[in-house]
Amino acid sequence: MSVKDDDEAKGETVFDVLSAGTEFCEPIRVEVELSDGKKTVEELTFRVMTFEPKQGRGQKVHCIYVYSGTDFQSLYIFHVSENGFGRLRESLGLVVEFENFLVEIIKILKQCPRPVSSDPPRYKATLDTKNPKEVIFNVLEGTGFRNVPHIILTFSVGGHEAVKQFLDFRLRETQKALDVSRGEYTDASNKCDKLSASLAEAQKKLEAQEERFKNFQSETKAVSETERKALTERFDQERAEMKKNFEREKSDLESRHQQAEDLLSAQVKKLGPECHELRKSQSELSDKVSELSDLLETSEKNRRLLEEKIAQLKTQSQQEKDARQEAETKLEKTWIELNVIQKECQSRQEIIGQQNERLIELSASVREWESACSDLRKTAAAADTRAKELQTELTTSSQAVSKLEKELRKSEQKLQTRMALVKEQEHLLTQQKQELEKSSRKSASMAQKLNDLKAAHAALQQHNSDLLEKLDDSRQQLSNNEQMIKWLNQQLTEAQLQTHPVVFGG
C-alpha cells in the first residue's frame, strides 16, 4: 500500500504504510447526513496515522481514516503533507503548526461523544455524505447558545483498491493481535494448569494435615482421660485408706487411754510414796514435750516447703498456658499464608511436638507432686510414732494422762491438717480437670480454623472456575476472530486477482 501527495507534480514520493505509526484509533458517535437528506447516528472508527518518507526521500504525511466496523466497503480518507498544510492552514484559519496538527486533532476527537459515554458531550461530530466523491467532516462545539463550528475537514471516498489495501493492512494488524491473544491464552492456560496443580497439592497436604490433627486430638484425649481416671482412682483409694487408719488409731488410743486410766488409778492407791519420782518423770516428760514441739515445728516447715512447691507447679502450669497461647498465635499466622503450605505443615508438627513435650513435663511435675505427698505422709507417720511413744511413757503417772489427752487433741489436729491437704489435692485435681477442658476447647477452636481453611480452599476453587470461564470466553473470541480472518482472506483473495499499486490524491 502506498500514498502520494498531490503536490508532487514530478515524481511520486512513495510511503510505506506498513511502517506508519498509529497515533489514535477509537470509535466515535457521529451524526451522518445521507444523500436523501435523512440523518442517522453511527459509530465510526477514526484512525490517525503518520507516514514517514521512505529511505529519507519525500515529505511526512498526516492521514486520517474513517471507517465502520460493520460496513467494510465504506472508507473515507484525509491526508495532508508538509507542503499542502500551508493552504489548509490558510483556508481553515489555523494557528497550529504542521508538527502539532495531529496532536490538536486527537484532542478534539477525544472530546467527541463515545459509544459508551453517558455524559452530555461538549463537542458534536457530523459527517455530510451527500457528495459520492467526497464527504465533509465537521466538529461543532456547544456553547449553550448555539453550536459553533470548530473544525471542518474534507475526506475523499476510498475506491475498491483503496478499501482492499486498507483491509489488507487491518488483516495483518488483526493477525498480530490474534497472535498476541493466542500467546496470552497459552500463558493463561499454563498458569491455570499450574494453579490447578498447586491447588491439588495444597488439598492433599490439607487432607494429610487434617488427618494428623485428628489423630493427635484423639491420642491427646485418650491420654488425658486415662490419666484423669487413674488420678481419681488413686485419690479415692488414698482417702479411704487414710480414713480407715484414722478410725483404727482413734479406737486404739481410746482403748489405751482407758487402760492407762484404770492402771493409774490402781497405782495411785498403791504408789503414794512414789510421787516424788513421778514429779521427776514429769519434768522429763516436759522436756520430751518440748522436743515434740520442735518436731512439730519442723513438720510445719516441711508443710510450707510443700506449699511453695505447689505454688511453683502452679506457676509452671501458667507458663505452659502462656506458651500454648503463643503457639496458637503462631499457628493462626501460618494458616493465613497458603502459598507456603509446606512450611506451615512443618511448623504445625513442631508445635505438636512441643505440646507433647509439655504434656510429658506436666506428667513429670505431677509425679514430683505425688512424691512430695508421699514424703508428707511419711513425716506424719513419724509424728504418729512419736505420739505413740509419748503415750506409753505417760502411762506411768496420773498427770501424764492429761498430757496424753492433749497429745490426742494434737493428733486430731494433725489429722485435720491431713484432711485439709486432701482437700487441696482435690482442688488441684479440679484445676487439672479445668485444664483438660481448656485443652478440649482449644482443640475445638483448631477444628474451627480447619473449617475456615476448607472455606478458603472452596473460594480458591471458585476463583479457578472463574478463570476457566474467562478462558472459555477467550476461546469464543478467538473463534470469532478466526471467522473474521477467514472472511477477510476470502475478500482479499477475490480482490488480489486485479492487484496493482494504488495512489491516493490529496
pLDDT in tens, 94-126: 888 988 888 988 988 888 887 766 666 778 889
CA 76 and chain centroid, separation: 56
Residue with the three cell numbers 456553547? 143
Contact 107, 24 (CB under 8 A): no
Q: What is the mean pLDDT of residues 80-92?
A: 87
How high is the pLDDT of residue 275?
65
DSSP letters spanning 99-162: HHHHHHHHHHHHTSPPTT--SPPSEEEEEE--SSSEEEEEEEEE-SS-EEEEEEEEEEEP-HHH
pLDDT at 159: 83
Q: What is the pLDDT of residue 344?
A: 60
Residue with cell 467526497: 134
Mean pLDDT of all residues belonging to the chain: 76
Higher pLDDT, 415 or 208: 208
Please tell me the predicted confidence (pLDDT) of residue 476: 83
- pLDDT of 240-282, one tens digit each? 888 888 788 878 877 877 887 777 777 667 766 666 666 777 6
| 178-228 tens-digit pLDDT | 888 888 888 888 888 888 888 888 888 888 887 888 887 788 778 777 877
The C-alpha atoms of residue 432 and residue 314 are separated, in whole angstroms, by: 10
Write phi, then psi, for 67 (nearest 5 degrees). -150, 165
Whether 86 has a pLDDT exceeding 80, the answer reads yes
Q: What residue ranges in 234-291 does DSSP mark as E strands?
A: none
β-strands 21-33, 123-128 pairing: parallel
Contact 391, 409 (CB under 8 A): no
Higher pLDDT, 11 or 205: 205
Residue 92 pLDDT grade (very low, low, confident, very high; cuts 50, 70, 90): confident
3-class secondary-structure state, position 58: coil
Lowest-confidence range among 81-95, 292-306, 332-346, 480-494?
332-346
Does the domain at 17-158 match CATH 2.40.70.10? Answer given as no
Q: In the predicted model, what is the mean pLDDT of residues 377-384? A: 69
Q: What is the pLDDT of residue 278?
A: 65
pLDDT digits (tens, 9 = 90+) for 130-189: 888 889 998 888 777 777 888 889 998 888 888 888 888 888 888 888 888 888 888 888
Confidence grade of residue 501 (pLDDT, cut at 50, 70, 90)? very low
Name residues whose C-beta falls within 8 Å of residue 427's C-beta, 6 or more positions apart in sequence: none
Assess whether pLDDT exceeds 70 at residue 355. no
At CA 77, angle to CA 71 and CA 81, rounded to 5? 165
C-alpha distances in Å from residue 296, one per residue of 288, 301, 453, 470 = 12, 9, 62, 87
Query: Higher model confidence: residue 390 or residue 399?
Result: 399
- Report pLDDT digits (tens) over 329-344: 776 775 666 556 666 6
pTM listed for this prediction:
0.40
236-246: per-residue pLDDT in tens? 888 788 888 87
pLDDT at 479: 80
DSSP 414-454: HHHHHHHHHHHHHHHHHHHHHHHHHHHHHHHHHHHHHHHHH
pLDDT higher than threshold 60 for residue 52: yes
